[in-house]
Structures are given as structure tokens and as C-alpha cells.
Amino acid sequence: MRVALTFNLRRSSSEEDAELDSRETVAFLAGHLADLGHDVTLVEATCSIRALDGRLRRAAPDVVFNIAEGLGGAFREALYPALFEQLGLAHTGSRASVLALCLDKAMTCKVARTAGVPVPRGCLVRRARDAIAPIFPAIVKPNFEGSSKGITQDAVVTDASSLERVVAAALERHPDGVLVEELVPGADVSVAWFDGLGLLPAFAYDYEPTGAHHIFDYALKHGPADRVRALVPAPLDAKTSLRLRRVATRAFESLGVTGYGRADFRVTPGGDVRFLEMNPLPTLAPSDDELYRAAALAGASPQNLIANVLASATRDRLVLTRELPRAG
């Protein structure tokens, strides 16, 4: 097939570029797609919609392999898939509506909770004076961010006296809203799902916290690799593993994730599972190898994963509904 690989290239180490794609990741995916026999065109999506439309028309792809995260706003991850859908192009990953939903942490938890998925207690706050913590300690985090943006030791609040100040500081950086949520004690555990493969074995993160609070904060996630150890599979007993898989399955289904995705949880010392957030566009970077290590335990190679992601775009999904005219 003709495959357009769409991406946003990371050009700095700043927090603003944390979700964007490295040259290594783009080359890694393009190489595997080519090895699978496809004709790959690289399309950097960091341009105007008009320019991107022109690039796609020139490429005339059968399918878009999309890893572009978008550059700003609460709709950024959904922007490019929405364009692909408008143009009638099959694309990898979930539909634009799902990507928009899952970037909104508060709404994601509401939908998941309705389906019986256990989530932390919390509330969305847009004005500091309205801040209410469901319980202490609580964590204040941006409602429309990923990659641990805004997650710092200072984001943890242990008493009511400092809550409004912490929320005000967070809103200054993230005026669209912040989530004030109970800080669930326990281990950080993730579960990935791929169409055609199902749930992969769970993986956990072992780390020394950067301060008094045991959180997988931005400094750890984007700092030296030797500060965090990915445990694959996660060291959970059989009962907790089964509970986690059941909750993860319900989370993926209730949120409408298709193609592939990754769900993040906290697992308490007593084995309770709390769903934190859903990433329907998780990184496929080779440097973040815990996903590929989990896949290996399930008998799948990196190329198997990439092939399944691509196949899911044309299996029971939006397929090419009209031919794009080639640019002259």
C-alpha cells in the first residue's frame, strides 16, 4: 500500500515539545513499514492545514499511519485524524472523537466511571477560588495535557491551606482547567492494547521519587533513563493481575479506543485498581521499550505491532471513500 506517515518533529527538549516525535522514532517506523513492503511517504504535519492537505493529495495514500500529536489546544490530538476523516482517508488509531475525549481527563473519567471503571475522586476546576479537594493528599494536574506535563512534587497538596495557591499557579499555566484529584497510593502500572493482539502484559515503573511524594513526575519521565526502571511484566499477584485486566478491558471498550492504546493505573498495596487516564495515541518510540518488551512476552515483535496498527486502519474502520485528486 501507499502509506503516508504523519508526524510532528521534536525540535527541542522543552516541555512544549515533550509529546512530539524524534527523528529516531520516525525513521524506526518508516523502516518497519518499508520492510513490510509498503511505499512510505513522510509527511511532517507541522504546517498549515492547507499545506498538509496539499502534501496528502500529492502522496495519495491508501492509508495514513498517524503519530502526529498536534501543537496546541484541547482538540490538538484529534485535529489531524479529523482532517483525514473529512478527506475520506483511512488512518491508524482511534477516531478523532475518541482522541478529543481522551485528552480531557475529567470527561474521560466520567465516561469510564459510568461504565463501572474505578477512578480516583476528583473535580475539574477553572477558577482557583472554586478549588475543592475530595480528600488529602490530592494532586493538581492539567486537564488537557499528557506526557506528565505539569506533574511535579509541588502539584501535590497535603492540606486545605495551600490548595487554592497550588490551583492558581496551575491555572496560570493551564487556563483551560485543572483536575484536583485524590492521590492514590501505590504503583504506577500501564496496560497496552492492540487490535488483533488484545491486551499486552501489564508493565510497572520502579523509581526513587524526586521529593516527598511517590509520583511518576515530569522530571522522572523526561530525565535520565537510569532513574526509572520499567518492570515487564508488572510484579502483581494473580488476583490483582486479573482484576487489572478486567478493568483495563472495560476502560478501552467504554472509551471507544480502536487500533491501539495505553491505559494508565495506580494499583494500591491492597490490590485495588484505579484508572487514571487513557492514551489512544501512545508513543511507539523504540527508546520507550517497555511496550515492545510487553509485546515480546505475548509473542509479538515490533514489526508485528506496527503491522497490526496498520491493518486495523482498514479493518472494520473508515476506509477510503473517495479518491483524492493528485496535486498537479
What value does the mean pLDDT take over residues 2-24?
85
What tens digit of pLDDT does each residue of 219-253 get? 998 888 889 999 999 999 999 999 999 999 999 99
Instruction: Say whether both 233 and 113 belong to one domain.
Output: yes
Residue 161 vs residue 11, higher pLDDT: 161
Q: Residue 323: what pLDDT?
A: 38
What percentage of the chain has pLDDT greater than the value 70?
Answer: 94
| 164 contacts 131 by C-beta, under 8 angstroms | yes
Indicate whether 285 belongs to any domain: yes
What tens digit of pLDDT does each residue of 166-203 get? 999 999 999 999 999 999 999 999 999 999 999 999 99
Instruction: Say whether both 12 and 46 belong to one domain.
Output: yes
Indicate whether 15 belongs to any domain: yes
Average pLDDT of the residues of the chain: 92
All three cell numbers of 204, joined, read 510497572
Indicate whether 175 belongs to any domain: yes
Q: What is the enclosing helix (H) or strand (E) of 276?
A: strand 273-279
Instruction: Say whether both 33 and 149 belong to one domain.
Output: no
pLDDT at 317 exceeding the cut of 70: no
Instruction: Say whether both 206 and 177 belong to one domain.
Output: no
Indicate whether 189 belongs to any domain: yes
Instruction: Say whether both 113 and 259 belong to one domain.
Output: yes
All three cell numbers of 135, joined, read 480528600
Instruction: Say whether both 134 and 222 belong to one domain.
Output: no
| 39 contacts 4 by C-beta, under 8 angstroms | no
> Which of these, 89, 109, 92, lies nearest to 101 by C-alpha position?
109
Q: Structural domain tally of the chain?
A: 3
In Å, what is the CA distance from 182 to each residue of 134, 141, 266, 269, 274? 6, 11, 11, 16, 11
Instruction: Say whether both 74 and 204 belong to one domain.
Output: no
pLDDT at 215 exceeding the cut of 70: yes
pLDDT at 45 exceeding the cut of 60: yes
Instruction: Say whether both 133 and 150 belong to one domain.
Output: yes
Q: Residue 318: what pLDDT?
A: 39
Instruction: Say whether both 167 and 39 belong to one domain.
Output: no
**Residue 204 sits in a domain of what CATH number?**
3.30.470.20
Structural domain boundaries enclosing 33: 2-92
Instruction: Say whether both 57 and 128 belong to one domain.
Output: no
CA 32 from centre of chain: 22
Instruction: Say whether both 243 and 258 belong to one domain.
Output: yes
Indicate whether 265 belongs to any domain: yes
Q: Is the dihedral of CA 144, 19, 109, 130 positive or negative?
A: negative
Indicate whether 9 belongs to any domain: yes
Residue 124, beta-bridge partner list: 179
String of DSSP letters for 241-271: HHHHHHHHHHHHHHHT--SEEEEEEEE-TTS
What value does the mean pLDDT take over residues 10-19?
73
Q: Which range is least confidently modeled, 6-10, 140-144, 147-151, 298-302?
A: 147-151
Q: Residue 17: what pLDDT?
A: 67
**Residue 32 sits in a domain of what CATH number?**
3.40.50.20
Chain length of the chain: 328
**Residue 144 sits in a domain of what CATH number?**
3.30.1490.20
What tens digit of pLDDT does each residue of 76-93 get? 999 999 999 999 999 999
Indicate whether 236 belongs to any domain: yes
Model confidence pTM above 0.85: yes
> Which of these, 274, 5, 230, lies nearest to 122 by C-alpha position?
274
Instruction: Say whether both 38 and 135 belong to one domain.
Output: no
Indicate whether 134 belongs to any domain: yes
